[in-house]
Amino acid sequence: MNATSRSDYRYFHTIQARWMDNDVYGHLNNAVYYSLFDTAIAMLLSECGAELFGAGGLNRLVVKSGCEYLSSLCFPGAITIGVKIAALGNSSIRYAVAAFGEGLDAAAAQGEFIHVCVGADDHRPTRIPDSLRKALSRYA
């Protein structure tokens, strides 16, 4: 797959790589990318007014995630995570995500996360609230 570019994304969150993020090969460990993606998505949701931690009776569960690694990133660089809303279902949100190195336009890693909104008490799929749907649609 070809690398996507920054212009393919609508929301950005920059995070400083930490020393502990590097693995024995001198680049970010594969699992770190998932943490970075998850953090950027949480920031986007927060900025869209979503209640985090089950407040308001709604949780979002990751039901699918994937990542394709295209080039290396490492400490001490800053990493910018790009996010766009790829699809809004009745109860699901599919995010396209990518990690970019400082000053680089091509993604070093790219993938997707899928959330399903569920009731905080019963964990059954729940419709995305209209206010959140409207806020997220700006990033599609």
Three-class SS of residue 98?
strand
Phi–psi pair at 29, nearest 5 degrees: -65, 145
Tally of structural domains, the chain? 1
Domain range spanning residue 39? 6-137
pLDDT tens-digit map of 48-63? 998 877 667 889 999 9
Query: For residue 121, is pLDDT > 70?
Result: yes
Look at residue 61 and tell me if it is in a domain.
yes
pLDDT digits (tens, 9 = 90+) for 124-137: 999 999 999 999 99
Whichever domain contains 108, its CATH number is 3.10.129.10
Q: What is the pLDDT of residues 65-120, one digit of tens each?
A: 999 999 999 999 999 999 999 999 999 999 999 999 999 999 999 999 999 999 98
The CA distance from 136 to 43, in Å, is 12
Model-level pTM? Answer: 0.94
